[in-house]
A and B are shown apart, each in its own frame.
Chain A
Amino acid sequence: DTGVSQDPRHKITKRGQNVTFRCDPISEHNRLYWYRQTLGQGPEFLTYFQNEAQLEKSRLLSDRFSAERPKGSFSTLEIQRTEQGDSAMYLCASSPGLAEGGNEQFFGPGTRLTVL
């Protein structure tokens, strides 16, 4: 499978705990994005990496959220001191970033987070 992969697929945690999600983009895609989707809504942008550099962060990304892409390959998204409002589907996407069609984004299966 050469698509975007995410791990875990489901996470249930208690309020106040920390959680970390992983995303592996399509090989050689240099752009990586994190989005969040709540029930009945379209995905909303959280943050974006070009290689290892985090170039843009949404206002949705509070100081409890941190994302890394240390070697320009996989990325992690950590949520500290989770709140019930963090319950959502967290989606990762990647794009080639080069040449024609370089802006087309491809999405992973998502990590569904439930905070009790």
Chain B
Amino acid sequence: GIQVEQSPPDLILQEGANSTLRCNFSDSVNNLQWFHQNPWGQLINLFYIPSGTKQNGRLSATTVATERYSLLYISSSQTTDSGVYFCAVLGGRRALTFGSGTRLQVQP
């Protein structure tokens, strides 16, 4: 099956800093989603981005499907951005395959 790798696995930032999270996948995909998992376990949809670039406030994402990677940019980070960020892809099947996540801690 399709493999999804996320980097870095852990990231500690000072409030106000910018960061880039990366997601590599091993095969062509029909869908790519970025999620933020809050401390209570809820997965919050950030982007549905099988290709191209999208922006939502301080967050933006770019997927280069031909090169099999996606990037999530967080600018001017806030403590509320802390949590785990997951990339998930939909390949030939209907279910998402998730990466192992990037654990972000934003310190005041």
Contact = CB atoms under 8 A, between A and B. Distances in A.
Interface residues of A, number: 27
B21 interface: no
Give the size category of B's interface with A.
20 to 34
Contacts of B100: 40-42
B96 A56 contact: no
Contact of A48 (B31, B33, B88, B94): B94
Interface string A30-61: 01010101001111110010100001101000
A43 B98 contact: yes
B93 interface: yes
A54 to B, nearest CB: 12
Nearest to B100: A42
Contact of A42 (B45, B94, B98): B98
A56 B42 CA distance: 24
Contacts of A33: 94-96
A104 interface: yes
B25 interface: no
Nearest to A89: B41
Nearest to A58: B95
B64 interface: no
B83 interface: no
B40 A109 contact: yes
Interface in A49-75: 50, 55-56, 58
Nearest to B97: A45
8 pairs of A and B residues whose beta carbons are closest in the complex: A42-B98, A45-B95, A107-B43, A104-B48, A103-B31, A110-B41, A109-B42, A48-B94
Interface of B: 4, 30-31, 33, 35, 40-43, 45, 48, 86, 88, 90, 93-101
